[in-house]
Amino acid sequence: AQKVTQAQTEISVVEKEDVTLDCVYETRDTTYYLFWYKQPPSGELVFLIRRNSFDEQNEISGRYSWNFQKSTSSFNFTITASQVVDSAVYFCALSEWGADKLIFGTGTRLQVFP
């Protein structure tokens, strides 16, 4: 069965702190895709990154970085030098090869205080 676990329900940090959001997934497939989405207070989910199971390279995009480790079935997301605008709910999601849908985790609410 496929499953995505985001154990951190809510995280609060002060601006400029680094923060890591954890994501652990379960799947029997060898081919799958992992995603991160951001949901700001406006409600619309915004795509951040997609990774396929054959690409374990870490990725950095500005203050954002992602650490994909198949050995621990994790796809963690780090925000460096957090800002108030980073305050949002962040979702990790999984799609198995050939599947028609994404399976979402329960989300992590990040609050960044000035």
Partner 1 sequence: DGGITQSPKYLFRKEGQNVTLSCEQNLNHDAMYWYRQDPGQGLRLIYYSQIVNDFQKGDIAEGYSVSREKKESFPLTVTSAQKNPTAFYLCASTPAKGSGEKLFFGSGTQLSVL
Binding residues for partner 1, per CB under 8 A?
6, 9, 32-33, 35, 37, 42-47, 50, 52, 91, 95-102, 104-107
Residue number with CB closer to partner 1 (35 or 66): 35
Find the helix or strand (DSSP H, E) in which 37 lies: strand 32-39
Residue in 111, 78, 83, 99 with CA at minimum distance from that of residue 27: 99
Angle among Cα 64, 65, 67 to the nearest 5 degrees reads 155
Residue number with CB closer to partner 1 (54 or 85): 54
**Could you tell me the smallest distance in angstroms from the CB atom of residue 114 to partner 1?**
25
DSSP β-ladder status, 3-5 and 59-61: unpaired
**CB-CB contact of 21 with 88 (8 Å):** no
**Could you tell me the smallest distance in angstroms from the CB atom of residue 26 to partner 1?**
15
Residue number with CB closer to partner 1 (80 or 104): 104
**Could you tell me the smallest distance in angstroms from the CB atom of residue 53 to partner 1?**
10
Residue number with CB closer to partner 1 (38 or 73): 38
Side-chain half-sphere exposure of 41, counting CA atoms within 13 A? 5
**Could you tell me the smallest distance in angstroms from the CB atom of residue 43 to partner 1?**
4
